[in-house]
Amino acid sequence: MHWLSRLNIKLRSKRVGKDEFGNCYYESRKTRNNGRPRRYVIYKGTPEASKVPADWHGWLHYTETDLPPEGGYAKQAWQLPHQPNLTGTIHAYRPAGHLLRLGRRRQATGDYQPWKPE
């Protein structure tokens, strides 16, 4: 059934762009009751909403009216590249003491001072 919805989107919508991860973005040819066309994303690989980069997220959710520029917006030096949600994968963040990191934490130093309101 998944392939059927993809086919329906491709037939009834126009492709407006593609991001650096291979996700394709579409906009329906007809408008809905609110006067706006529907917007879709067809994911490359496993469908996962966190795979949509910020450049396209704004357009997809009608925050931005214009499509992102080819190659995306200019990035600041402090910005990291977009990553999808890694929860549930072997690349997920696991802090010290997590069971999958052998469950060992550093020894407490005893220098903790609780805050007391005055």
Domain residue ranges of the chain, discontinuous segments joined by +: 2-72
Averaged pLDDT of the chain: 87
| Percent of all residues in the chain with a pLDDT value above 90, rounded to a whole number | 35
Residues 97 and 105 sit within 8 Å (Cβ to Cβ): yes
Higher per-residue confidence, 61 vs 103: 61
Tokens of 5: 């919805």
**Per-residue pLDDT band at 81 (split at 50, 70, 90):** confident
pLDDT exceeds 60 at position 1: no
Degrees (nearest 5) of the Cα angle 15, 17, 23? 95
Q: Quote the DSSP letter at residue 86.
A: -
**Which pLDDT score is estimated for 60?**
94
How do residues 8-64 score in pLDDT, each as one tens digit?
Answer: 888 889 999 999 889 999 999 988 888 899 999 999 988 888 889 988 999 999 998
Higher per-residue confidence, 102 vs 35: 35
What is the rounded distance in angstroms from the CA atom of residue 61 to the CA atom of residue 96? 37
What is the rounded distance in angstroms from the CA atom of residue 36 to the CA atom of residue 25? 16
Residues 60 and 25 sit within 8 Å (Cβ to Cβ): yes
Judge if pTM exceeds 0.75: no
- Where b means 16+ CB within 10 Å and e means fewer, 27-38 reads beeeeeeeeebe
